[in-house]
Structure 1
């Protein structure tokens, strides 16, 4: 079972998600913030009100997304730029 074990807010509507398979994905959730529940999260002060549950992240208003969905829409993080010595 895929689980989210760590989450970091990167800015705007983007999260860095670490999964129990050891992979990290960056997910821009802006395209998915519509409707009665998720539309509330367009208010960034509400978007940043999330917490980590046993398997997922959940927002203060009760919204959550399946870890499998977040993994699927996420992309691999960009490698850090290497500075020449």
Structure 2
């Protein structure tokens, strides 16, 4: 059964690419640029130094201005504005990885 994702570490790579380590041992390399939209992400989108101020707080990537990104979205590989159907399909696919036939 899919458990909510928790990020344990962020490593900055090139540009907006990061490596994320999750509590379950999984690692993902992700380009976060598509997730940096809206006024709260403006400083991070326009200045790489501001982007690199991200830390992990309570299992989530956060920035000093209060911006954050849902770790489940990143773990499941969903797009920023994923529909409910896309969420359900991603969770079902994740659950299928661990089901026994």
Report the TM-score when normalising by structure 2: 0.67
Match of 1:57 among 54, 61, 70: 61
In structure 2, runs of 5+ residues without a counterpart are 79-101
Match of 1:71 among 64, 72, 75: 75
In structure 1, runs of 5+ residues without a counterpart are 75-85
State the secondary structure of the residue aligned to 1:15.
strand
What stretches of structure 1 move > 4 A for 4+ residues in a row? none
Q: CA deviation at 1:28?
A: 0.2
Structure having greater relative contact order (Cα 8 Å, sep ≥ 6): 1
1:29 matched to which residue of 2?
Answer: 32
Q: CA deviation at 1:56?
A: 1.1
Structure that is richer in strand per residue: 1
